[in-house]
Amino acid sequence: MTRGARLFASSAALATVVFAAAGAAHAEKQMVFPQGAEQSLSALQDIDVIEHLGDRVPAGLAFTDVGGRPVQLESLFGRGLPVVVTLGYHRCPMLCGLVLDGIVKAAASSGLKLGKDFLAVDVSIDPAEDAKLLTATQRRVLELVGRGATAVDWPFWISAGDGAVAAKSLAEAVGFRYKYDETSKQFAHDAVAFVLTPEGTIARYLYGVNYPTRDFRMAVVEASGGRVGTSVDKVLMSCYRYDPATRRYGPFLMGFMRIGALTVFVALASLLTVLWRKEISMRKRRAAATAAGRAA
């Protein structure tokens, strides 16, 4: 092989690695496209998640539960627990069900319990949602959760009575942009779940359908403001921070340095205490020995 050929092959290999790395970096962001639909570039630009961390969701958003009863989003904010919100529809042939299953698996592996440590709610973005299909999906999800999970802890709501206006308002509040395709009669959207504080403030976004145990637990614990979790979680929260660039929790150097400094301080204090006590004990023995010698 000539020098030029070797150089070309090396350049091609390098380009392959770069493109592969770029693809891996974006692998976590999964998107649902209607089957058979041809999406234009402008339509694809409308499908995104714009994070609104720190914003409160609007008050007065009204929905209908699987029993046909009117409900409001605020009804979930009076229980002092974080709320995991999903937006989707139940005719979805691809990721919507996987998002729900991912939350179930993440909660189970994290040790957090639905109804005790967090609440969840699924809101349909489809104004023509089938209530029977919604009920079937809710039943399936609650069976997967097990451990006494009830519909009160994970309600499934529709926004059909108002033409999905409430669902659209919630989606806009959390930055969830989706697109309806007239040809396939389906929605294109990202796979994402939203974690709200007990007061209804947007705290974290969970992307994809497989949520790392650490990310899910820390997102819920952080959203709870310390009301959920253990002392170990509080230590971990000082060592890990949410990175908006990677959309994951990663090591926080200053947190580890603080923990290390505290550990060194405690170790030195313990050592000095032991040495101080030994010194006092030795002084007492010397004093006793001197007193005994004088008495003799």
pLDDT in tens, 118-136: 999 999 999 998 889 999 9
Does residue 19 register a pLDDT over 80? no
Which of these ranges, 21-30, 90-99, 279-288, has the smallest mean pLDDT? Answer: 21-30
For 41-85, write each residue's pLDDT tens digit: 445 567 889 999 999 999 999 999 999 999 999 999 988 999 999
Q: What is the pLDDT of residue 4?
A: 42
Q: What is the pLDDT of residue 123?
A: 97
Does residue 268 register a pLDDT over 60? yes
Q: Which residue, 97, 92, 82, is CA-closest to 125?
A: 92
- The full set of domain ranges for the chain reads 31-228, 259-284
More confident: 108 or 237: 108
Instruction: Determine the CATH number of domain 31-228.
Output: 3.40.30.10
Whole-angstrom distance, CA of residue 225 vs CA of residue 78: 15
Q: What is the pLDDT of residue 130?
A: 84
Mean pLDDT, to the nearest integer, of 239-249? 54
Q: pLDDT band for 20, please (50, 70, 90 cuts).
A: very low
Q: What is the pLDDT of residue 248?
A: 59
For 204-240, write each residue's pLDDT tens digit: 999 999 999 988 998 999 898 754 444 344 444 444 4
Q: What is the pLDDT of residue 101?
A: 96
Mean pLDDT, to the nearest integer, of 160-172? 92
- Residues above pLDDT 90, as percent of the chain: 44
Is residue 214 a contact partner of residue 248, using CB atoms and an 8 Å limit?
no
Is residue 179 a contact partner of residue 48, using CB atoms and an 8 Å limit?
no
